[in-house]
Structure 1
Amino acid sequence: MADHETDGGSDGGERRLSTRETAERLGVKPETVYAYVSRGQLTSRRAPGGRGSTFDAAEVEALARRSARREPPAQGGDLAIRTGITLIDGDRCYFRGVDTSELAAHYGYEEVADWLWTGVLRPGARFTSPEDALAAARRAVGALPAHSSPMDRLRVAVVAAAAADPLRFDLSEGAVLGTARALIPVLVDSLPLSGTPDDHASAPLPRRLWSRLTPEPPDGPSLRALDAALVLLIDHDLAASTLAARVAASARAHPYAVVSAGFGALDGPLHGAASGLAHRMLLEVLERGSAAAVVADHLRAGRRVPGLGHRLYQGEDPRARTLFRLLEDMPQAEPALRAAREIAATTARHTALHANVDLALAVLTVSYGMPPEAGETVFAVARTAGWIAHALEEYEEYPLRIRPSGHYQGPRPPQAVP
């Protein structure tokens, strides 16, 4: 648009800025000012005499302050989002500057999740399911076909819990925290039982989850490993599912919808379901008694070997290293642990790939008779806390900021109507 309006002045007592002044204050081109208007981030008013537009100086100033929080432009065309949640550096992973392995060694999942959201550690923190939300989720999950996967059930449970919460559109920090502390236990408690029920509201969440994963009774070391896995999987920088969750939060979707967006991106063999592939591979190694033969079959078929390598680590995934140390204390895990190490050693003869968390999680699920989908269930429950943490961050940013531009490569207009 042409910028012919006069400099801003006062209109009814409020100070008005011209497009040129607004662009200078925001540090953008005049065309971008009108893009802000089309996205609802600024409102414009025709100048006296119809010569261009003017803008409320206070509104422009507020947008400038929000824009100042934006991260620097990414290099190479990649999308970069400023976050204070997770740092991956030097083959280590940190939550808010604290080593995740140290967190997993000292605190449980509910304590770490709550601390990640609030910055305040509440020893002994417990999450409990609201009766109405849990009843709605259980009814919805119970109506699914018997062959439905755990991820099918979790997706349905989050939608049912949302429908039962008329206050879900309240995006204030206190309301979102209340939603998070209620939603995660609803997800766990709505899953069908596999073993001895342990549904008491005071029971730690990992113990309640265990009875949904396997009929085998838990012991101290096994529950400790599951709890550590949940802590370690809470977040991992801007993974695909976390980006999807932040995009939803940027559009001011409520927390249930944010989690639904995360579930949608999580459901795939390259993300949340990767541990299931590693689980099946471990079972095959134990059945055939040879890691070399199984690895050879994968390579011959042109498939990557599951549970090995991670683009963010040069060496072993630190989450896998922590879980492997815990699994070493469990005699029941020894066969699967030995098979996992044989797989890594066999593959290392040809390429420098190290074990990742999916392989370590598969050792746990195989050792205790869990189904192949159990690792994905653990991943989804754990990562829900991370998505909520990212939503809390994103709600503090200006809305609809995550808007990449398309690079059109279709036919050039005008084209004939088909």
Structure 2
Amino acid sequence: MDTFGERWIGRGEALSRLGVKAQTLYAYVSRGRIAARPDPADPRRSLYAVRDIARLTGAPIPGDEAARPIERGPAARGEADLESSVSVIASGRLFYRGMDAVQLSNAATLEDVARHLWSARAANPFAQVKPRVGVTPGGSARARLFTALSRRADEDAEAKVRDPEALRIECARVLDEAVDAVAGPGPRLFLHQRLARFWKAPERDAQLIRRALVLSADAGMDAAVIATRAVAGGGASLAAAALAGLTVAAASPLVAGAVRASAWVNAARRHPAETLRDLDLAGFGDPDWSGGDPRAEALLAAADLPIDLQRVLRDGEAAAGRPPAFALALATATRRMELPRDAAQDILLTGRLAGLLAHALDQCLDGSPIRARLRYVGPEPGAH
């Protein structure tokens, strides 16, 4: 008897239920219509969401409403109405083009996730990338990141007619040059390995940096996505669109929270009793994740925290009555790895760049016009 009690099924059964070829199934996943995740028994294979398949085939699903993404009505004052197939939060999980972000973080590199977010199925855009010869800009890692993006935005300013494959290669070049700007020139390692080499982190910590980058790549709809898509929709280059979005992301509560959380963790390790009274800096709880952010849980589970950091988080969660948010989890992980003070925000911004490039690319290739309305509420014309 066929039931929907088992949420995830293999490719063969998914194809049978849908009555389509494998290419169509993959298209459903890339467009976010069917969620997918790696098979725990064999990470080379994927499992597919039964509820999504049933929804496409019209089969009834008891309790289906709980699994739907958050849907909003028409754009209200101050809102823009956008369509995206890059990421979505559904059932308390974050999905990158239909695939569970936490599951991907178990083994995927930032390059793997970028290719998935950019819908680069067969070709590898990073294979076309060569190291850029030039002087690495000075300043902080964050300043170097923005300098690299600004340089690319200036170089790519001339409008060109380019095919999707060329645009994906451009995304890869932008991301590669940005990481080189942060980490400095060196061997052509994976992106997370270049950052680990820059920070002199051992291989164990390089894997934690990899996981953090993957989990930072995107987070559904926010102001950074709107900025990126608005600039891309206006005809700017991918680098210029990503620069606009990253500028907004750098001022976001998440990045600001990571900076404050890093300071809070340091203080809490030294003076736990005093610091627990200052819970506004602790980073416990997130209004966007009422049931707890799965990214934070996954990152902390992989961090192998020492006893003192475990105690800080345990006592803080007990006092706040809320679990750690992602910013605090990332700040705690960077403290455990003894990375520089600003490493948490640097990881957030570098990982997020891959996702913002995906939004810029998505807007260029498949994005519908952004519907926004400016309502004038100033003085009556000619009144003064």
**What is the TM-score of this pair, normalised by structure 2?**
0.73
Matched residue, 1:225: 208
C-alpha deviation, 1:235, in angstroms: 0.9
1:47-78 CA distances to partner (integer Å, 9 max, x unpaired)? xxxxxxxxxxxxxxxxxxxxxxxx99626544
1:238 aligns with 2:229: no
The question of 1:386 aligning with 2:369 is answered no
Identify the residue that residue 193 of structure 2 maps to in structure 1.
Answer: 207
Native 8 Å contact 1:115 1:121 kept in 2: no
Distance 1:266-1:324 versus aligned 2 partners, 3 A rule:
same
* Structure 2: stretches of 5+ with no match in the other structure: 1-70
Deviation string 1:324-357 (CA, Å, 9 cap, x unpaired) is: 11013x5xx4432431232222111xxxx32111
2:295 corresponds to 1:319: yes
Between Structure 1 and Structure 2, how many residues are aligned?
A: 313
Conservation of the 8 A alpha-carbon contact between 2:109 and 2:214: yes
Q: Secondary structure at the match of 2:382?
A: coil
Which of these residues, 387, 391, 395, is aligned with residue 364 of structure 2? Answer: 395
Write out aligned runs for 1:249-288 (5 A): 249-268=232-251, 270-288=253-271
Maintained 8 Å contact 1:104/1:228 = yes
**SS of the residue aligned with 1:414?**
coil
Q: Which residue of 2 aligns with 1:409?
A: 377
Match of residue 357 from structure 1: 326
Question: 1:279 Cα shift?
Answer: 0.6
Distance in 2 between residues matched to 1:121 and 1:327, nearest whole Å: 33
Corresponding residue number in structure 2 for 1:341? 314
Please say if 1:295 is aligned against 2:276: yes
Structure 2 CA distance, aligned partners of 1:79 and 1:248? 13
Q: Secondary structure at the match of 1:364?
A: helix
Cα deviation, residue 234, structure 1: 0.9
Please tell me the residue identity of whatever aligns with 2:235: R
Quick one: structure 1 residues 247 and 167, their matched pair in 2 at CA, closer, same or farther if it must change by over 3 Å? closer
One-letter identity of the residue aligned with 1:74: P
Q: Give the letter aligned to residue 200 of structure 1.
A: P
Q: Could you report, residue by residue, the CA deviation over 1:377-405 in whole angstroms, capped at 9, with x for unpaired residues? A: 11111111111111122113577x32522
Given candidates 370, 374, 379, the residue that maps to 2:343 is 374
Amino acid at match of 1:179: E
Q: 1:414 to 1:167 in 2, by over 3 A?
A: closer
Structure 1 residues 81 and 337, CA, compared in 2 at 3 Å: closer, same or farther?
A: farther
Any idea what the Cα deviations from partners look like across 1:225-245, whole Å, max 9, x if unmatched? Answer: 111111111111112212111
Quote the Cα distance in structure 2 between the aligned partners of 1:244 and 1:73.
21
One-letter amino acid matched to 1:267: A
Compared with structure 1, are the counterparts of its residues 96 and 245 closer, same or farther at alpha carbon in structure 2 (3 Å cutoff)?
same
Give the match's secondary structure for 1:242: helix
1:16 corresponds in structure 2 to none
* Same amino acid, percent of matched pairs: 24
Q: What SS does structure 2 have at the residue aligned with 1:271?
A: helix
Question: Residue 243 of structure 2 aligns to which amino acid in structure 1?
Answer: S
In structure 2, what residue type is equivalent to 1:380? L
8 Å contact from structure 2 (residues 159, 236) kept in 1:
no
Task: Confirm or deny that 1:135 pairs with 2:134.
Answer: yes
Equivalence map 1:11-30=2 (5 Å): none
Structure 2 residue identity aligned to 1:86: S
- Give the whole-Å Cα distance in 1 for the aligned partners of 2:156 and 2:86: 27
The DSSP-based 3-state class of the residue aligned with 1:272 is: helix
Deviations 1:186-224 (A, max 9, x none): 11112256xxx8x211x1110101233x34x3132x222
> Relative contact order (C-alpha < 8 Å, sep 6+): which is higher?
2
Corresponding letter in the other structure for 1:288: H
C-alpha deviation, 1:360, in angstroms: 0.9
Which of 163, 173, 176 pairs up with 1:182? 173
Partner of residue 173, structure 1: 164
TM-score (norm 1): 0.68
Q: 1:143-165, CA deviations, whole angstroms, 9 ceiling, x for partnerless residues?
A: xxxxx432222111111234455
Q: 2:182 is aligned with what amino acid?
A: L
Letter in 1 for 2:177: V
Change (3 A) 1:394 1:341: same
Unaligned runs of 5+ in 1: 1-70, 143-147, 299-303
Is this contact kept in 2: 1:168–1:256, CA < 8 A? no
The alpha-carbon deviation at position 107 of structure 1 amounts to 1.7
